[in-house]
Amino acid sequence: MYLKKDSFLTLSSELDLFINKYYKHELVRGVLLSSVFLVFLLAGAWFLEFLFRFSSFGRGVLLFGGALFALIYVSKLIISPLIKLFGLHGRMSHEEASILLSKKIPEIGDQLVNVIGLERQLEKTETDLLKASIERKALNSLRFNFRNSISITDQKKMLYGFLVLFLFSGACSFIYPDSIIPPLRRVVFFQKNFEKPNPFEFKINNGDPLLVLENEPLEINIKTIGKTDPEQVFLYSKKKRFFPEKTGSKSFRYIFNSVNKSFVFNLLDGNRDTVNYNVKVLPRPRMLKEKKIVRYPSYTQIANDTFYDLNRIIVPQGSTIDWEINCKSISLCSAVFEDSVIRSKNERFGFTYSPKKSQDYKIFVQNNFSDFKDSISYFIELNKDGFPTIVVDEVFDSNRVNKRLFVGNISDDYGFHSLKFFCLKNDSVIYSEVLNYSGTTMAVFNFEYDFEGLSLQSGDLVRYFFAVKDNDGINGPKEILSKSMFLKVPSKERQKEIRKIKSLANNQSFSSLQKKLQNFNSELEDMKTSMLNKRSLSWEDKSSLESFLKKQKEIQTNLKMNFQKIKKKKIKKF
């Protein structure tokens, strides 16, 4: 195996040192060029943003596009030489270094390139002549200082240019910070909305928070601050454009009607920039449903009733009412009656109340978000149990003046306690009887009574009437009397006179009936004679026959009635 001489090893070492110094200079050069590139890149971004004032999307493209170009440039000029310096990838070979040195040191000619070539050839074929040639050319090449061919003075112009550019940029930023820094800041924070310096700025509602109660109107008072007094400003909300009214110098106003949820609106200034404002809607306390279950007094026998959101109800005295109230967005609900107040912090609650009299009451709802209180007024009317009514008709027999038949009807709000019949003589009760009736709130009754059972004397005066009581379970039963009726017993002489008049009337009745029978018999004989002489009956004959039959029926009825009267009279005497 051939052993290399010290001259070639020294040459290889010098080449490695040259390569290292070369990459170090390339690294310094890359840093300077990258710095200059970054300065120009920032200047370009500043100029474009200053000139066109891009949107958030445009600023994002400018930022990430510039960052991508900067990364590519820095990778090429700084990272690549650094990797080659440490021999990680793509390091310069000795052959490439010898060619570069031939350019930097013309006196060396091509002997350094030949030495490297001969060395490669020696690895394949070992000859003494080739060895001597390598040794001689290596010694000749070592006469030159490879590392001095690369000097920092080559970078002076670039370094001076960088310093001048850096100082100029720094001076501009220091002297004109309001012009240099804001565009670059907008590019860096591209996602934010930036107000462009313009002739005027907005002040909304004197800077107070934009709060509005649910379903209430919101008045927006806009003031412009600046030298310019615009004639018109534009307001945008929910993809619609609105035109605030100009109310004075630098003053505008717009009203949003019935705001029911939070929203965002923005104003467009003279530079076509948008300024966003958030409106927060405060929830309105509301009562959603009011349910009343009325439990009537048991004596009324009325089933419970349920009412929803009814402002006025009429209930019997003594009723109990159960409330169920549903609310929304409340911190307190109050039911205010004349004699009590019921409160709850729950959105759904119930309570029971028994009104003692007719009254107004209110239900208030409120919450902690605002001072607003909502209220609804109601009225409860108590209906007292009324008095019962009674109507009675009296029927009597002319043949029996002491016997009476009564027919009547009674009525009440909710029912009856009792129905009685009273007889009084000299204001003292001589007879009373509890009567039956059919019906609940309206009933009819009939009652037959014979005053003979009272053992009355001639000249006695009897007052009689009916009394009905209702079933009032709160204030007690109430009683009402019918009209008073009277019976006066006639004297004996008067009774004889009455019997005589009746007997005379009966005799007259029989006498009249006897005459009718005689006429009837005469007509019958004539009709027989007429009909026997005719073969057929004419229309007049038929009509006469029908009339005759009617008279016959009428006489039979009168006879029957008279016989019944006589029979009754005999039974009475017996």
CATH number attached to the domain at 286-383 = 2.60.40
130, pLDDT greater than 70: no
Q: What confidence score (pLDDT) does residue 325 get?
A: 94
Nearest CA to 187 out of 70, 266, 276 is that of 70
Whether residue 21 contacts residue 150, with contact meaning beta carbons closer than 8 Å, is answered with: yes
Give the β-pairing of 461-470 and 416-425.
Answer: antiparallel
Least confident among 251-260, 283-292, 503-512: 503-512
Least confident among 69-78, 166-175, 307-316, 556-565: 556-565
85-89, 164-168, 236-240: range with highest mean pLDDT: 236-240
Tokens encoding 383: 């209906």
In sequence order, the β-bridge partners of residue 428 are 425
Res. 3 pLDDT band, cuts 50 70 90? very low
Whether residue 376 contacts residue 287, with contact meaning beta carbons closer than 8 Å, is answered with: yes
Q: What confidence score (pLDDT) does residue 573 get?
A: 41
Tokens encoding 380: 């409860």
Least confident among 157-161, 193-197, 315-319, 454-458: 193-197
Q: What confidence score (pLDDT) does residue 217 get?
A: 92
Q: What confidence score (pLDDT) does residue 109 get?
A: 63
Three-state SS string over 398-418 comes to CCEEEEEEEEEEEECCCCEEE
DSSP string of 146-181, one letter each residue: SGGGS-GGGGHHHHHHHHHHHHHHHHHHHH-HHHHH
Q: What is the pTM of this model?
A: 0.49
CA of residue 487 relative to chain centroid, distance: 76
83, pLDDT greater than 50: yes
Region 149-155: what's the mean pLDDT? 68
Whether residue 19 contacts residue 81, with contact meaning beta carbons closer than 8 Å, is answered with: no
User: DSSP character for 138?
Assistant: H
CATH number attached to the domain at 200-282 = 2.60.40.730
Least confident among 159-168, 303-312, 331-340: 159-168
Res. 372 pLDDT band, cuts 50 70 90? confident
Q: What confidence score (pLDDT) does residue 574 get?
A: 39
C-alpha angle 114/119/123, rounded to 5°? 145
Q: What confidence score (pLDDT) does residue 491 get?
A: 67
The average confidence (pLDDT) of the chain is 80
Are 200-282 and 286-383 the same fold in CATH?
yes
413, pLDDT greater than 80: yes
Least confident among 35-49, 51-65, 430-444, 553-567: 553-567
Higher pLDDT, residue 222 or 59:
222
Q: Where do the structural domains in the chain lie, given as residue ranges?
A: 6-175, 200-282, 286-383, 389-489, 496-531+541-573
In sequence order, the β-bridge partners of residue 467 are 420, 481
Region 305-323: what's the mean pLDDT? 92
Q: What confidence score (pLDDT) does residue 186 get?
A: 81
What tens digit of pLDDT does each residue of 271-289 get? 667 789 999 999 989 899 9
Q: Which SS3 state, helix, strand or coil, does residue 236 take?
A: strand
Nearest CA to 138 out of 99, 98, 104 is that of 98
Res. 570 pLDDT band, cuts 50 70 90? very low
Region 336-348: what's the mean pLDDT? 92
CATH architecture under which domain 389-489 falls:
Sandwich (2.60)
